[in-house]
Structure 1
Amino acid sequence: MANPLLDRTTPPHILTLVVATATAAVSMNVFLPSLPGMAVYFNADYGVVQLAVSLYLAATAILQLGIGPASDRLGRRPVMLVCFAIFILSTIAALAAPNITVFLVCRVLQAFSAAGMVLSRAIVRDTVGADEAASRIGYITMGMTLAPMIGPLIGGILDELYGWHATFYLILAFGVISFTVVYLDLGETNHNRSASMTSQLKHYPELFRSRRFWGYTATAALASGAFFAFLGGGPYVATTMLNLTPSGYGLYFVLISVGYMLGNFLSGRFSRTFGINRMMLAGNITAALGLILSLALFSAGYFHPLSLFGPSMFVGIGNGMTMPNANAGLVSVRPHLAGTASGLGGALQIGGGAALAVVAGALLTAESGPFPLLWVMLISSSLAVVASLYVIRVARQAGDI
């Protein structure tokens, strides 16, 4: 039976965790269609305005390192509420920013929305076991996938009608709703708090010594890395080599989002039955097979958008199966360090994935065709398979704690 909504005496409703987790995704991508207009508005170079994306990602990775330990020491509820309050205030400041410098500072502060993503995983692990956690994280991720799927479309429409400020008013509204729902529904779930922040940081070596933590983290980073690589190189391939318009790219990208949602559903449906490790392995194999198919189609001369996006849908399915289980695994290795593990693991995932996005974008040229992108994605997915097998091997060894 589902927990009641807006009742702090029971574990939070899954809808609350979906909204909290989706906040970062909304802030990340809903304004992307507005970047050219923002460059004109601030009289800034487009490359400088694009820092609104890369700085946000970098700040998200760094903040996760502190948000997790802070929640282990102070509790999930107060940390989540403070982070969302900072997010709301920084969004208001961004709307009033007089120049691009102030705006970019506000974007860095908006990265505090990462608390929703980090702490939702830890909150789930506070309340249920590992396999059930994977199932719930799968459903949470499936629910929040709608935001990146339709966010750019909604942002583009708002920008055309009212300008870029409208997209940030939407982000502000989402932040206020998230804060309100969390305030009303999230009671404290961390009943085993650490003695101090410094003592919590001292637990990093305990995580570092866990082979399973590194196995789960590597699996998640490499699996998501294939997707980040697509974000880095996919638009170039689609527009330059496949002659798609930006709107055409957005429509085809829905295939990947639908695939990810399907993978999340499969994770939520079957993780309790098959276990998180086998679900991770199946997801990474699915992604790798999809990329092999794409390479085969392009090698055979089929230069069509579906040769890229059709097989990449299997990457979405594979990631949707892998990520909830890998994240459930890394916060379950040391349950008393769930927040710290979630923050550290999330930072490594975003950092590694962002690096692969840069690599994919750097290797592509007009003469190279889509092959560098596909090879980077395939290598990343294949290494994720190896990492999954490593986790399974370690789990079978007696005495690994």
Structure 2
Amino acid sequence: MMVSEPAAPPRPITLILLSALAVLPVNMILPSLPNIAATFQADFALVNLSVAGFAIITAVIEAIGGAISDRFGRRPVVLTSLSIFVAASIGCALAPNIGTFLLFRAMQACIGPCYSVALVIIKETSDEREAASKFGYLAMGWALAPMVGPLFGGSLDELFGWRSSFVVFAILGAATFALSARELRRTASPLSRSHRNYLASYGLLLSSGRFWAYTLCMASSMGVLYVFLGGAPLVVGDALGGSSAKLGLYMGLVPTGFILGSYLAGRYASKTSLSATLVFARLLTCVGLSVGLVLSSFGITHVLVFFGPCVFIGIGNGLTMPAANSGALSVRPDLVGTAAGLAAAMRIGGGALIASIAGLFLADSIYALFVMMLISAALALLAALYAALLDRRQPTD
């Protein structure tokens, strides 16, 4: 049965809330981990599963949720995800022991598909270049959430205790549920109402060179960021006198760069091709990191000499993600939800894999860190060039 699109798409604020809420739970509780461990008298490594395990489960659920949204529609997936998220947040707030807490924390990861669905809704109501532009503005809100999350969560912890963060999650989830229930009406693509096997849908996407090019570009770009996040405290911590506040301030320059890159994507992506945006973004990151590598090779180790070039990680990723997402979602118009979820899972998993491999070669050296980041950035550039080549040869699959 053919289903028509709603006359008016959801307001941008609703989509921004969906995407922000999907990433906010990842790190908002970071400042509270010691207090959670103390409350449950649990080993800190076990409590840390509430962060690392959350990210892994989110990647898996995003891949599944995207495919389900192609079959049953965007609205049911969003409302179900939000309902589980609200219930799980309340469960975390009331948890009497660490086992119960980790169970409900895992259930919170059901919020993950909301980010992919927000991208899908934009894609279904915009052409390719307009979608990349809107993705840029959406990414600005998506980037702000992890920036302000730890500060907000830490403040709540100091004032009301760590359980208050999960009460806030429940309130935000309920508010977003109300907005989504009102604005997300019949947003499923009429082309997607098929009974194609889920594994067959994944196979169709994974058989596309364009899909691989775009997702590998995103995964390698995220790999650069993950390598930076894991290595920066190691190589510059002593230079900052062990000050966590200073380290957090300097590391915040990278997400600030991401916001700038996302703004530029929102402003100019509709005026240029996706492949040109991707190649420019990846070249920008490679040039910035190359400057840092050269300076560090001369023994210049000032903290700004390290963080200055690293700002281009954020700017490059801010430009990359909207364009690459738009490209990945355009590969199969009948599988746009599946593509969004699978691309998100591959982006997270691929980035984490790159960071894990890089961690084996990292030494307590700024030069070594720049080398690892530049290798990942170069892989992203190669993927962007491959995507540009495929787009030139065959604009559509």
Q: TM-score category by the smaller chain?
A: over 0.9
Letter in 1 for 2:263: F
Within 5 A, what are the aligned runs for 1:264-343? Answer: 264-343=262-341
Match of 1:347 in 2: 345
Deviation string, structure 1 residues 285-341 (Cα, Å, up to 9, x no partner): 111112112222322223232222221111100000001100110001111100001
The whole-number CA distance in structure 2 between the counterparts of 1:156 and 1:296 is 38
Structure 2: which 5+ runs fail to align?
1-5
The whole-number CA distance in structure 1 between the counterparts of 2:393 and 2:7 is 40
Question: 2:393 is matched with which residue: 381, 389, 397?
Answer: 397
Conserved in 2, the CA contact under 8 Å of 1:31 and 1:155?
yes
Deviation string, structure 1 residues 12-48 (Cα, Å, up to 9, x no partner): 1111110000002211111111111211111111111
Match of 1:383 in 2: 379
The whole-number CA distance in structure 2 between the counterparts of 1:67 and 1:217 is 18
Match of 2:121 in 1: 123
User: Which deviates further from its counterpart, 386-395 or 250-259?
Assistant: 250-259
User: Which deviates further from its counterpart, 132-141 or 31-40?
Assistant: 31-40
Q: SS at the partner of 1:301?
A: coil
Question: 1:71 is matched with which residue: 59, 66, 69?
Answer: 69
Match of 1:223 in 2: 221
The whole-number CA distance in structure 1 between the counterparts of 2:395 and 2:155 is 56
Letter in 2 for 1:259: G
The whole-number CA distance in structure 2 between the counterparts of 1:146 and 1:280 is 22
Conserved in 1, the CA contact under 8 Å of 2:28 and 2:152?
yes
Letter in 2 for 1:69: A
Question: 2:92 is matched with which residue: 91, 94, 98?
Answer: 94
Q: SS at the partner of 1:203?
A: helix
The whole-number CA distance in structure 2 between the counterparts of 1:111 and 1:79 is 13
The whole-number CA distance in structure 1 between the counterparts of 2:332 and 2:189 is 15
The whole-number CA distance in structure 1 between the counterparts of 2:249 and 2:337 is 36
> Quick one: structure 1 residues 147 and 140, their matched pair in 2 at CA, closer, same or farther if it must change by over 3 Å?
same
Q: Cα distance, 1:240 vs. partner? A: 4.3
Conserved in 2, the CA contact under 8 Å of 1:118 and 1:346?
yes
The whole-number CA distance in structure 2 between the counterparts of 1:254 and 1:147 is 12
Structure 1: which 5+ runs fail to align?
1-7
Question: 1:153 is matched with which residue: 148, 151, 154?
Answer: 151
Conserved in 2, the CA contact under 8 Å of 1:229 and 1:359?
no
What TM-score results when the alignment is normalised by the length of structure 1?
Answer: 0.93
Q: Cα distance, 1:348 vs. partner? A: 0.7
User: Which deviates further from its counterpart, 351-360 or 80-89?
Assistant: 351-360
Deviation string, structure 1 residues 166-221 (Cα, Å, up to 9, x no partner): 22222222222221221122222223254566524322222122110111111111
User: Which deviates further from its counterpart, 239-248 or 58-67?
Assistant: 239-248
User: Which deviates further from its counterpart, 378-387 or 285-294?
Assistant: 285-294
Q: SS at the partner of 1:61?
A: helix
The whole-number CA distance in structure 1 between the counterparts of 2:375 and 2:47 is 32
Conserved in 2, the CA contact under 8 Å of 1:260 and 1:316?
yes
Q: Cα distance, 1:242 vs. partner? A: 4.3
> Quick one: structure 1 residues 104 and 291, their matched pair in 2 at CA, closer, same or farther if it must change by over 3 Å?
same
Conserved in 1, the CA contact under 8 Å of 2:240 and 2:247?
no
Q: Cα distance, 1:373 vs. partner? A: 2.5
Within 5 A, what are the aligned runs for 1:167-206? Answer: 167-192=165-190, 194-195=192-193, 199-206=197-204
The whole-number CA distance in structure 1 between the counterparts of 2:134 and 2:395 is 28
What TM-score results when the alignment is normalised by the length of structure 2?
Answer: 0.94
Q: Cα distance, 1:381 vs. partner? A: 0.7
Question: 2:206 is matched with which residue: 208, 216, 219?
Answer: 208
Q: Does 1:373 align with 2:356?
A: no
The whole-number CA distance in structure 2 between the counterparts of 1:170 and 1:73 is 32
Deviation string, structure 1 residues 70-128 (Cα, Å, up to 9, x no partner): 10000001111001111111111011112222211112111111122111111111111
Q: Where do 4+ consecutive residues of structure 1 move more than 6 Å? A: none
Letter in 2 for 1:113: I
Q: Cα distance, 1:9 vs. partner? A: 4.9
Deviation string, structure 1 residues 240-291 (Cα, Å, up to 9, x no partner): 4543422212211221121101100111111111111111111111111121
Within 5 A, what are the aligned runs for 1:99-118? Answer: 99-118=97-116
The whole-number CA distance in structure 2 between the counterparts of 1:87 and 1:73 is 22
Question: 1:15 is matched with which residue: 10, 13, 18?
Answer: 13
Match of 1:28 in 2: 26
Q: SS at the partner of 2:197?
A: helix
Deviation string, structure 1 residues 137-169 (Cα, Å, up to 9, x no partner): 111111232211111112222222222112222
